[in-house]
A and B are shown apart, each in its own frame.
Chain A
Amino acid sequence: MARIDLKGLRHSYLPNPTTDADYALKQVDLVWEDGGAYALLGPSGCGKTTLLNIISGLLCPSEGSILFDGVEVNDKSPEERQIAQVFQFPVVYDTMTVYDNLAFPLRNRGVPESQVDARVRAIADMTDLTDMLNNKAAGLTADGKQKISLGRGLVREDVNVVMFDEPLTVIDPHLKWKLRSKLKELHQRVRVTMIYVTHDQTEALTFADNVVVMHEGWVVQQGTPVELFERPGHTFVGHFIGSPGMNLMPCELADGGARVSGHQIDIARKIAQPKAGAKLELGVRPEFVTFVDPDRADGLPVDIVSVRDTGRNRIVETDFAGHKVRALVAEGMPVPERRAAIRFDPTYTQIYADSWIVE
């Protein structure tokens, strides 16, 4: 078990990187506390897998250092780092039985056979593989094989961190949900640090206590699911997390609030002065946009463009002075027709300068 610090990590797959664009990881400084359940979230190609392989030791970073409990491990092999990793596609040893597959990481480390047996049976029990222990691994279905991979990742007791690289990609949707709950449950039982890489926000938000969002090689925000939702640190987080994503519109600062196309908008907290010349945007999630009486003084006049029913609620797309603003209206609440007025909740209205939040 260990606390993992990443300091000034940069990585490029090119031999002589020069500009930022040559780097797959541009700058990463992160702390993974011991025993936490983390998710690493971002679209394909944002550098998630690169970061994961650097932590596990399959890749050596171009710059920066990785510390396990304060000790630099840059030059240590995956074996020396005592980590476990589960890959996107199931990796099983075809000619072995399920039992031997689960026992493999332990036997390679010379664990006595009696301990191996106890551990393998415990893990098989957790991953529902007990009935198949004596089957050849080659004959299992894709999700059965992935359960073996998960089991092999969890079988060692001495690991510092278990990493999952989009482990549910090949799993059927109804099993995905089951396996995800299983992982969460396993985490609560074994209390080992887990890092779960995914591009699926639902997976990330349900599994993790703490989510790290990556975008084009940068870590754009780290926080709890609630923080990511209520106060996105970067416009990318606003638009990547949540469905539909955050409404964004150009604005300027005025009278302690913001001004969008001549309309004054209140903001609850005090905004710091952003850097001069930065591109300013106002962001508010559709959940925090409400319809108000059109005659109210602080109502923002809008035209209704379309209404889409998603089952639990309706997404109303409006036109506010030429800006597209979406509002989420709960099932059963009235939606005005044509001309209406909206209001942004001042507590959850944020200002972004060059895409980063203004504190």
Chain B
Amino acid sequence: MTQKHEPGECRCSRGLTRRGFLSTVGAGVAVASAAGKLAAQPAASQGADVLPSAEMTPITLNINGRTHRLLVEPRWSLLFVLRERLGLTGTKVGCERGECGACTVLMDDLPRYACMTLAVEAQGSEITTLEGLMRGEELGGVQQAFVEEDAFQCGYCTPGQIMAVEGLLRAHPEPSQEEIQMGLSGNLCRCGAYVHIFKAAGRAAQLKRGQ
């Protein structure tokens, strides 16, 4: 990975070019995805422009099939924009540093940590949040399975767990036990509901197949 620090290019206040920062994030993804895990990862970015940090930037986000046009600071995370600007609070905040997975959303069907994704990076992707799994007022299959298996206690990590399972099932409709555990390995649950979450993942796969 090369980082360019051309004089005069950086208009950020903190001395790191946006491009440099973004390519750092991108490299982390390359390593992680090479490991072949489907656990949530920071989103990849390609060909990002240098954005002035002090100015609001207009962006367009495609969330749950709807288009949102809004102004953001380039440093705002997708998580912040989803929760605090768009009111989509189904996506939870646990650590804001890519450790817990409470903020997992799908970007183009892949689980991603919204806290490790800048809102400006999320443009051009189809973003799905917990709210996007609902069919009107009806629960989606994965949500239904979590209810049946009591796959949570306090319920705060649950949206992230559900999104991780949803992402897993979109890639592997009939996952093995090992795939389920790997797929959920990026999502912490302090109440310790894992064993029920695994069951819910299996049940969700059934429900999605119409069984």
The yes or no verdict on A and B being binding partners is no
Which of B's residues lie within 8 Å of A, judged by CB? Answer: none
Identify the A interface with B (CB < 8 A). Answer: none
